């Protein structure tokens, strides 16, 4: 019998455009909001000694118990309120699979995976545009919530790719007005020093996502974690794949936490480089630079963003083209790199007319 792909493919998948990444050879990689510093050599040595004794042939601990225990201590939250994922992406997916009974609400512009995962999990997504300052349009948002009570609301904090953190008051208002879950994606919160963690015991519909990818410089290892009420964690644990976090990443996460101070050195450098980069960029009249609290900067050149993107690439520098037709028209996003990488970027940008 001939296979009828049109018949067996879910309708929501047919038109789906998946998350795309650039695969370009470059000397200076400032496109993916990665930490520019590799994991410290000294800690790598500890990891490799550890892995030598590690049993590769055994399945990972499905609960990542030891890593969770250390995390709980670190962020001062009960273990029962934490679960780990193969990156935050997987936790977004598990949350959506468990709680996607009604619609999800996402803002635009924001991290595209919230919407993509909602589509993949076959739940309706409502997109509400941010205002001109890239803050939440609270009236439209509350009106939608009141009428539809979405199951899930995804909020980047700070938001990607805009870089800003939305007003805390507005978010609290949203949490208080919703019977669904408010998922605060705090992937970049180590660079903003702002978090909703102090409110985690106050609201049982507040969920926080964190990651080892950015501040810890472990994007390759895919370690994300979620903090939420026991009820939410219980359901996500039911839905998540049993051996989702491989045993080697679990070991690496444990070592990163045990040597947190060494890891955190990179954060300070990135924050100071961000200030320097911002200062210099704001002096360039050929671009408009948006404020940021993350490890990346959004800017809009006066000439075509495509031209600027290509000019940078011809100099071996890869950034991210986030331009589209609406609020991000002609916009580009650059990740804060090492001092020398930022210099290389500035060198090209400063010549723009």
Subset of residues 71 to 100 that bind a second copy, contact rule: CB under 8 A: 86-87, 89-90, 93, 97-100
DSSP letters of 165-203? PPPHHHHHHHHHH-SSEEEEE-TTHHHHT--SGGGTTT-
| Residue among 93 and 192 whose Cβ is closer to a second copy | 93
Residues between 226 and 245 with contacts to a second copy, criterion CB under 8 A:
231-232, 235, 237-239, 241-244
Total number of residues binding a second copy (CB under 8 A)? 87
Site for a second copy in 103-142 (CB under 8 A): 113, 120-122
Interface residue with a second copy, options 173, 246, 282, 315 (CB under 8 A): 246
Pick one of 205, 330, 335, 342: the residue that binds a second copy (CB under 8 A). 205
244 or 292: whose CB is closer to a second copy? 244
Which residue among 81, 115, 210, 222 contacts a second copy (CB under 8 A)? 222
d(CA 309, CA 321): 7
CB of 6 to a second copy, least distance (A): 9
Q: How far is the CB of 224 from a second copy (least distance, A)?
A: 11
Of 251, 250, 252, 207, nearest in space to 228 by CA? 207
Q: How far is the CB of 212 from a second copy (least distance, A)?
A: 10
The distance of closest approach from Cβ of residue 182 to a second copy in the complex, given in angstroms and rounded to an integer, is 10
According to CB under 8 A, which one of 28, 35, 105, 125 is a site residue for a second copy?
35
Residue pair 152/99 in contact (Cβ under 8 Å)? The answer is yes
What phi and psi values does residue 82 have, to the nearest 5 degrees?
A: -125, 140
Q: Could you tell me if 123 and 116 are in contact, meaning their C-beta atoms sit under 8 angstroms apart?
A: no
d(CA 199, CA 218): 27
CA–CA dist 211, 92 (Å, integer): 12
Considering only residues 294 through 323, tell me which ones interact with a second copy, judged by CB under 8 A.
none
Closer residue to a second copy, CB minimum distance, 158 or 253: 253
By the rule CB under 8 A, 24 interacts with a second copy: no
**Out of 58, 76, 132, 147, which residue is the one contacting a second copy (CB under 8 A)?**
58
Q: How far is the CB of 88 from a second copy (least distance, A)?
A: 10
DSSP tally for the chain: helices H, then strands E: 14, 13
Question: Least distance in Å: CB of 74 to a second copy?
Answer: 19
Among residue numbers 159 through 198, which ones bind a second copy (CB under 8 A)? 176-181
Angle, alpha carbons 199-154-175 (nearest 5°): 40
**What is the Cβ-side half-sphere exposure of residue 316, based on CA atoms within 13 angstroms?**
7
Angstrom distance (rounded) from CA 92 to CA 293: 23
Residue with smaller CB distance to a second copy, 29 or 289: 29
**Which residues lie below 8 Å from residue 186, measured CB to CB, with a gap of 6+?**
157, 195, 196, 197, 208, 209, 210
């Amino acid at each position: 019998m001939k296979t009828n792909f049109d018949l067996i493919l879910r309708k929501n998948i047919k038109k789906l455009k998946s998350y795309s990444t650039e695969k370009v050879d470059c000397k200076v990689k400032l496109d993916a909001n990665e930490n520019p510093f590799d994991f410290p050599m000294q800690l790598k040595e500890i990891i490799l000694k550890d892995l030598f004794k590690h049993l590769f042939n055994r399945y990972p601990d499905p609960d990542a118990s030891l890593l969770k225990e250390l995390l709980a201590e670190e962020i001062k939250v009960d273990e029962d309120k934490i679960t780990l994922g193969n990156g935050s992406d997987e936790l977004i997916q598990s949350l959506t699979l468990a709680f996607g009974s009604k619609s999800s609400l996402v803002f635009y512009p924001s991290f595209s995976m919230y919407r993509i995962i909602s589509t993949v999990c076959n739940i309706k997504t409502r997109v509400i545009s941010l205002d001109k300052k890239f803050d939440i349009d609270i009236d439209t948002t509350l009106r939608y919530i009141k009428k539809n009570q979405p199951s899930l609301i995804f909020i980047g904090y700070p938001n990607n790719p805009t870089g800003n953190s939305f007003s805390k008051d507005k978010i609290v208002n949203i949490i208080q007005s919703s019977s669904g879950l408010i998922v605060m994606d705090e992937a970049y919160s180590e660079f903003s020093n702002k978090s909703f963690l102090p409110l985690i015991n106050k609201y049982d519909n507040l969920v926080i996502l964190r990651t080892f990818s950015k501040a810890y410089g472990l994007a390759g290892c895919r370690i994300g974690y979620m903090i939420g009420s026991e009820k939410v964690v219980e359901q996500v644990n039911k839905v998540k794949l049993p051996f989702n976090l491989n045993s080697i990443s679990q070991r690496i996460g444990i070592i990163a936490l045990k040597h947190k101070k060494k890891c955190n050195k990179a954060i300070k450098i990135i924050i100071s480089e961000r200030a320097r980069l911002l200062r210099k960029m704001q002096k360039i009249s050929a671009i408009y630079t948006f404020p940021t609290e993350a490890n990346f900067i959004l800017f809009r050149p006066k000439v075509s963003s495509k031209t600027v993107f290509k000019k940078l690439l011809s100099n071996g520098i890869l950034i991210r083209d986030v331009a589209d037709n609406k609020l991000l028209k002609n916009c580009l996003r650059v990740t804060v790199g090492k001092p020398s990488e930022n210099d290389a970027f500035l060198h090209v940008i400063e010549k723009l007319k």
